Structure 1
Amino acid sequence: MAVAMRAFVQQGVADGAEWATVHGVAEKLLAHLNEPEALEQLAVANMPGQSSALVQATFAEFARDLGFVDESRGLFDSYENRALRPDYYLPVGANGILLEVERGKTTINNMDLLDFWKCHLCEHANYLFLMVPQELRQNATMSPRREFNTVVKRMASFFVPRNYTNVRGLCVFGY
């Protein structure tokens, strides 16, 4: 199954150079994730019982080649909860992108919303790349949960002008 991407961006940001750069990075990542070898690795990483760390391992080298730093520290030093860390961070000019990878707890434990909140708080990033399974099975016998569709529906509400946050743009990747 091909990796899907759904992008959201605030009005007034969509036509700017910063979003063009961010969206360009997203397109490069999406193209990489849709290469045959990457798709095979993602399929194995999304089997029941696997962790998001295995998903991360499928594209970690490519993310570093794009300039992402994994487990970037110091982005939340001005807050009481300094220990917050994104899975990956990429500086973009005076701004940046947080990249978060979820698997088993995506919507069950609201990790998608936690990742959005984390980006909302981050003084160094106003853009979020959120990777979630298109379909999630916690075990081999359960019916799949449609995580990508659920996350897209949940996140769309934040990109209605009356609900804007510090997250100017979001790309949800469904692997």
Structure 2
Amino acid sequence: MRLANLPGMSSSEVQASFLPYAEGLGFRSEAKGLFLEYKNNLGPDYYRPIGSSGILLEVERGKTTTNNMDLLDFWKCHLCRSADYLFLMVPQALKHNDAMTPKKEYNAVVKRIETFFVEGNHTNVREVHIFGY
């Protein structure tokens, strides 16, 4: 996973590094059909049903906070009728090139997502677990 997070790599490289483990835990890659009632072309990276709900597993890298992909992932979980839980994998630190100072992506995502769980803010996302790699 460390090699997959080097400058210039994509989130698909990170996904490939742990896909066997995710599948071993019951996640399906690119689950289809979870958002058919919407006109948007949405789909999670991985999905696992649990009881009457499920977990979306999203993997981000270069565009985590720059393009608000963490917030898009939260929104997808909010919309998904088959999942109330989000597992979000983000880099601890992100470098787009060797010369730049690493961005503290993990810390930024935690601060952004925790605002959805402040008293008075209501979504149907029951829990978000943020994993830093």
TM-score (norm 1): 0.75
Task: Quote the offset at 1:149 in angstroms.
Answer: 0.1
Q: SS of 2:92's equivalent?
A: coil
Q: Following TM superposition, where does structure 1 have runs of at least 4 consecutive aligned residues deviating by more than 2 angstroms?
A: none
Q: Which residue of 2 is the match for residue 48 of structure 1?
A: 7
Q: Which residue of 1 is the match for residue 60 of structure 2?
A: 102
Q: Which residue of 2 is the match for residue 153 of structure 1?
A: 111
- Matched letter for residue 43 of structure 2: R
In structure 1, stretches of 5+ residues that fail to align are 1-41
Q: Which residue of 1 is the match for residue 23 of structure 2?
A: 64
Task: Quote the offset at 1:164 in angstroms.
Answer: 2.2
Structure 2: how far apart are the matches of 1:106 and 1:89?
19
Task: Quote the offset at 1:161 in angstroms.
Answer: 2.6
Structure 1: how far apart are the matches of 2:82 and 2:29?
15
Aligned length: 133
Structure 1: how far apart are the matches of 2:4 and 2:38?
34
Q: Does 1:129 align with 2:110?
A: no
- Matched letter for residue 15 of structure 2: Q
Task: Quote the offset at 1:105 in angstroms.
Answer: 0.2
Q: What percentage of residue pairs aligned between the two structures are identical?
A: 62
5 Å-filtered alignment, 1:1-175, equals 42-81=1-40, 83-175=41-133
Aligned CA-pair RMSD? 0.7
TM-score (norm 2): 0.98
